[in-house]
Structure 1
Amino acid sequence: MPDAGGPPPSPTTDREKPRWLSPLLRRILLLNALPPALLAAALLYLDQYQNGLLAAEVEALRTQARIYAAAIGEAATRPRDDRTILVPEAARPLLRRLVEPSPNTQARLFDNTGLMVADSRVREGPGGAIVTEPLPPPQPPGVFAGTVAGLYDRLLTLLPRQVRTEVVVDVNPDAPSFDWQPEFGADRREELRLALEGGVRPYIRRTNDGRLLVSVAEPARRGAASVGIVLLTREAREVDARLLDIRVSVLALFSTALVLTVLLSTYLSRTLATPILQLARAAAAMREGEGRGGSVPKPLLDRPDEIGVLARDLQTAARALWARIDANERFAADVAHELRNPLTSVRSAIETLRRIEDPVKQRRLLAIISDDAVRMDRLINDIADSSRVDAELSRTIAQPVDVAPILSALGELHAATRDDEDPVVEIEAPQEGLIVRGVEGRIVQVFRNLIGNAVSFSPANGHVTVRARPTGQMVEFVVEDEGPGIPDAKLESIFDRFYSERPSGERFGQHSGLGLSISRQIVEGLRGRISAENKRDANGTITGARFIVTLPAA
């Protein structure tokens, strides 16, 4: 059974997984494809456009019905007594002649009682037989058009429909045909009355075989008297054809947009997801110890966009982390070396103390043990302080610090505690304009170290000068002494941990060699810089050492 508390799988195992449908690509595809899909759905939802086409079809058919009704009213009627009657024998051929130019149209004529008098699709055949001519069969749509129409019809079942009040639309293929037979009852008689008055609304229906039929009824009049009703029915093939053309065009545009969206989304995913995965693999390789200098691929480092910024920051962070690890390893080795010397001295003194009985030599050995103990105590304190500097600076928020009173206080403190032959500390700094961003306690520690170091190297009754001045965005501090200076080859080494080159005559073990190293830690942790150089006279002779500190102004 696997251990539930084991380490998580390494990100490097993800490189075997397919990336075609990565989560990022799915999100990009969804976001990019949704707008054109909604637009296509909105364009395919063509009820308003369809109603406009149907209204135009109805208006054209109504105009045609009025022409037919007027022609029948003039040519197929005759007066009888005090009224005008319809003549079926004259109306039938006239109606067929009128409909001949419109093969998709069927015209029927009803008298005032609702009885059908003539039908343009019914004629007398050979031998007096009655022949009914059906409407031309509907043209079957192509495979693509039929698929589009089927999908569209299914889509419309899910959407709300908007029906025009002036047009009756019946999309039920099982609806009964429009008829004018009086035996249908009171409802049909009311429709007959409305038709004679010209008040029946147009009727649109879809048949079982997919035909879209439009029917209008117009009264045939002779003068002011109604002699019958002309019912005109036509197949609105142009409406379906135009709607299908628009839907096919919309779907073609949507398909093109979808293909482009997929290609662009894939490209966008590869420019985002693939580099991020490469960065994840680089981070995993760094964690496993591969590539101490950073294993981020060079193409990512050369990118000018945000991915390049992230790659460069990751590379910089990795190098800084390895530098910190190396520094800690060196520090541990240096600490072990520095502690070994006094411990060896103490152990040798103790072993010698056990073998001698001379009180004078015993006191001398005890003094050596005491000095070494003090030296180890000082060394351990400085080591602890050095190890705390980075952690303290990383969690402490830098605040504006006025350095002028700090320098003045250090100068007064030295003047109050100096002996007669000790060097004099002179402060040459303005009383304002020396405000920097930092941590006050650590800034005090830096200047105490530098002034103390300068005093220890200066000759008796010498001078230590501290100067300060603002320089744009930084504030510069200079500490000068009149000592022997620093060897040119050691100008950088003096900031190393445990480096110690003390003036002649000073007792051994009075300093740990961490003062300047801690000062550099503090200054660089405050985004500043510290350096050392030698003072020289006109002849190029070294006249002392100079330490320069620059800190960011607040």
Structure 2
Amino acid sequence: MPLALIFAALLYLDQYQQGLLAAEVSALREQARIYAGAIAQTAVQVNNGQPAVSPDQAQPLLYSLTEPTPNAQALIYGTDGTLIANSRVHPGAGGAIVTQPLSAPPPPGFLSRVVGFIYDHLSGSVTGNEDESGLVGSGAGQDPNTLGWQPDARTVLQLTSTNPGQEAAPFVRRDSEGLLLVTVAEPVERSQQVIGTVLLTREASEVDQAVLSVRISILGLFALALALTVIVSFYLSRTIASPITRLADAADRLREGRARAQKLPETITGRNDEIGTLARTLESSAQALWARMDAIEKFAADVSHEIKNPLSSIRSAIETLTRVEDPARASRLLAIINQDVQRLDRLITDISDSSRLDSELSRSRYEIVDMARMLATLAEIHDATRKEGSPFIEVDAQAEGLYVRGSETRLVQVLRNLIGNAISFSPPDAKIYLRGRETGGMIELAVEDEGPGIPDGKLDSIFDRFYSERPQTEQFGSHSGLGLSISRQIVEAHQGRISAENRRDDEGKIVGARFVIRLPKAGD
């Protein structure tokens, strides 16, 4: 668009040239009127009762009038087209007649001709007109006569054959050397009668020079803009188009599964602009995708392993059952099969819940959840359903301000899971503490028990899938080992963290376990 605007400005220089020519014609016409008035007052003779221009008086007067004007020539014609006076002819020494040549400026130089040629062809290709001589007036484009500058007598009569009071059209053309010439004709009137015509011609090199200067400026600006456009285009190609193409290739390799071991060049990821941000985002997305695929593969392998155990037990029990005749042993084998079926059903249920958890959380509509009210409600439910010998639950949480944004159902699932684990490991009539507080823009929740605690080397492993560290009094297979893993998955989906630690007394002895949940506080 900038180049197109500059090109349009180059084409519309005609208007600028027309304005300069109009000013030149106006000034020249005013000068011709002065000449005509002077001739009508001082160089008129009467022949047969009719006024006429006197050649003897008009010649020196015309010479004196035009002498201060360089590059100009004035002619006086009679009403019949006869040449009466020429400003370039005057008496010399001894009465001889001398013709003074015109001191015309040198013809246009090479640069002017080249620029004019380029402009004329560009303008002609767009406007369909390559003739610039008809910018002002009539008679344009005609060849000059033998006088060099002036039109012939027939043309003079045409220029002055207008209605009384109406200005004759100027005569604008170029000579064989390419010089721009402007001619105007003004009638010589005496007693409201036209007795002759003053024809004034002047070379308008100033117009060409002004137009040439503007043309060169516009062409130079066009060349500069073109060069800058090429440079900027090359720069953008190297800094934007090429990196984006490489990113597209990397994304294509990622789609085909061939980009796992490949990384984007440091020259792209190290950039501090939008391309670098896009590259780093694409690379981190690819790493997250591969990590998710690895997790899915590991999860599939763990599921396969965990399902094989009860299936192998069921198969062994069925094979043994076909060969056992003792009813008591057969009953025990059927009980084992029933336990394994229940274990398998629980395992499949938890696996299904874990596998669809991410998609459910992504579709869930998060709301403001009052965690203080949730802790109190869970304690009330436990007290209402508590069996004899089960632990007691105490709530130690601030009544206001424990608000988080999330899925209430899933957060309840996390706390119930932690409370269930605490009940499993707590001795009879022990206490479980539910604590809640606000710290540093985070809501911190804790579930504490008075059980045996967690082995120091297992504080992180207990959150792995299918990890199970159960009390000896608990029936085998009653848990799938996915509870804490699902809890961590839910908490991390809420932009939080969950961790485990041991409670110790003053002597450093383990007196229980503590699970801590940290969630971002909900904004106002």
Q: Secondary structure at the match of 2:432?
A: strand
Identify the match of residue 199 of structure 2 among 228, 231, 243.
Answer: 231
Whether contact under 8 Å (1:113, 1:182) holds in the other structure is no
CA distance in 2, matches of 1:171, 1:377: 108
Whether contact under 8 Å (1:293, 1:319) holds in the other structure is no
Q: Does 1:451 align with 2:419?
A: yes
Distance apart, 1:423 and its partner CA: 0.7
Q: Aligned letter for 2:318?
A: I
CA distance in 2, matches of 1:289, 1:425: 52
CA distance in 1, matches of 2:426, 2:168: 117
Aligned residue for 2:116? 149
Aligned residue for 1:61? 28
CA distance in 2, matches of 1:171, 1:506: 119
CA distance in 2, matches of 1:517, 1:424: 26
Aligned residue for 2:367? 399
Distance 1:204 1:458, change over 3 A: farther
CA distance in 2, matches of 1:553, 1:260: 53
In structure 1, stretches of 5+ residues that fail to align are 1-33, 125-129, 162-166
Whether contact under 8 Å (1:61, 1:216) holds in the other structure is yes
Aligned residue for 1:50? 17
Whether contact under 8 Å (2:81, 2:157) holds in the other structure is no
Distance 1:223 1:277, change over 3 A: same
Distance apart, 1:539 and its partner CA: 1.0
Q: Deviations over 1:472-520 (max 9, x none)?
A: 4321111001111111111110000000011122111111100000000
Q: Aligned letter for 2:224?
A: T
Distance apart, 1:342 and its partner CA: 1.0
CA distance in 1, matches of 2:442, 2:30: 92
Q: Does 1:39 align with 2:39?
A: no
**Mean Cα displacement is larger for which, 243-252 or 294-303?**
294-303
Identify the match of residue 342 of structure 2 among 370, 374, 383.
Answer: 374
Distance 1:353 1:171, change over 3 A: farther
**Mean Cα displacement is larger for which, 88-97 or 305-314?**
88-97
Q: Aligned letter for 1:542?
A: I
Distance apart, 1:114 and its partner CA: 5.5
Aligned residue for 1:545? 513
CA distance in 2, matches of 1:537, 1:477: 21
Aligned residue for 2:463? 495
Q: Deviations over 1:278-317 (max 9, x none)?
A: 2122223333444536612222222111111111111111
Whether contact under 8 Å (1:58, 1:202) holds in the other structure is no
Q: Secondary structure at the match of 1:498?
A: coil
Whether contact under 8 Å (2:59, 2:85) holds in the other structure is yes
CA distance in 2, matches of 1:398, 1:215: 89
Distance 1:48 1:183, change over 3 A: closer
Q: Aligned letter for 1:217?
A: A
CA distance in 1, matches of 2:45, 2:138: 38
Q: Does 1:87 align with 2:54?
A: yes
Aligned residue for 1:311? 279
Aligned residues: 505
Distance apart, 1:226 and its partner CA: 6.7
Identify the match of residue 265 of structure 2 among 282, 293, 297.
Answer: 297
CA distance in 1, matches of 2:140, 2:33: 28
CA distance in 2, matches of 1:201, 1:447: 105
CA distance in 1, matches of 2:414, 2:10: 74
Q: Deviations over 1:305-359 (max 9, x none)?
A: 1111111111111111111111111111111111111111111111111112111
Q: Aligned letter for 1:505?
A: T
Q: Does 1:484 align with 2:448?
A: no
Q: Does 1:426 align with 2:386?
A: no
Aligned residue for 1:508? 476
- The 5-angstrom pairing of residues 2-41 of structure 1 reads 34-41=1-8
**Mean Cα displacement is larger for which, 507-516 or 52-61?**
52-61
CA distance in 1, matches of 2:344, 2:155: 125
Q: Secondary structure at the match of 1:545?
A: strand
Distance apart, 1:207 and its partner CA: 4.6
Q: Deviations over 1:18-70 (max 9, x none)?
A: xxxxxxxxxxxxxxxx2243035325523453244224423442354355445
CA distance in 2, matches of 1:57, 1:458: 111
Distance 1:225 1:358, change over 3 A: closer
CA distance in 1, matches of 2:233, 2:402: 55
Q: Secondary structure at the match of 1:169?
A: coil
- The 5-angstrom pairing of residues 128-167 of structure 1 reads 141-142=108-109, 144-156=111-123, 158=126
Q: Deviations over 1:163-222 (max 9, x none)?
A: xxxx9534852599866669969x95445x44xxxx525514235745533222344578
Distance 1:324 1:461, change over 3 A: same
Q: Deviations over 1:414-447 (max 9, x none)?
A: 1122211111112222343222111121111111
Q: TM-score, normalised by structure 1?
A: 0.81
CA distance in 1, matches of 2:31, 2:442: 94
Aligned residue for 1:387? 355
Q: TM-score, normalised by structure 2?
A: 0.85
Whether contact under 8 Å (2:160, 2:168) holds in the other structure is no
Identify the match of residue 403 of structure 2 among 424, 435, 440.
Answer: 435
Q: Does 1:277 align with 2:245?
A: yes
Aligned residue for 2:330? 362
Give the share of equivalent positions with the same residue, in percent.
Answer: 55
Aligned residue for 1:16? none
Whether contact under 8 Å (1:114, 1:182) holds in the other structure is no
Whether contact under 8 Å (2:160, 2:186) holds in the other structure is no
**Mean Cα displacement is larger for which, 304-313 or 98-107?**
98-107
Aligned residue for 2:73? 106
Aligned-residue CA RMSD (Å): 3.5
In structure 2, stretches of 5+ residues that fail to align are 92-96, 130-134, 145-149
Whether contact under 8 Å (1:294, 1:315) holds in the other structure is no
CA distance in 2, matches of 1:467, 1:85: 127
Whether contact under 8 Å (1:44, 1:247) holds in the other structure is no
Whether contact under 8 Å (1:173, 1:208) holds in the other structure is no
CA distance in 2, matches of 1:274, 1:54: 53
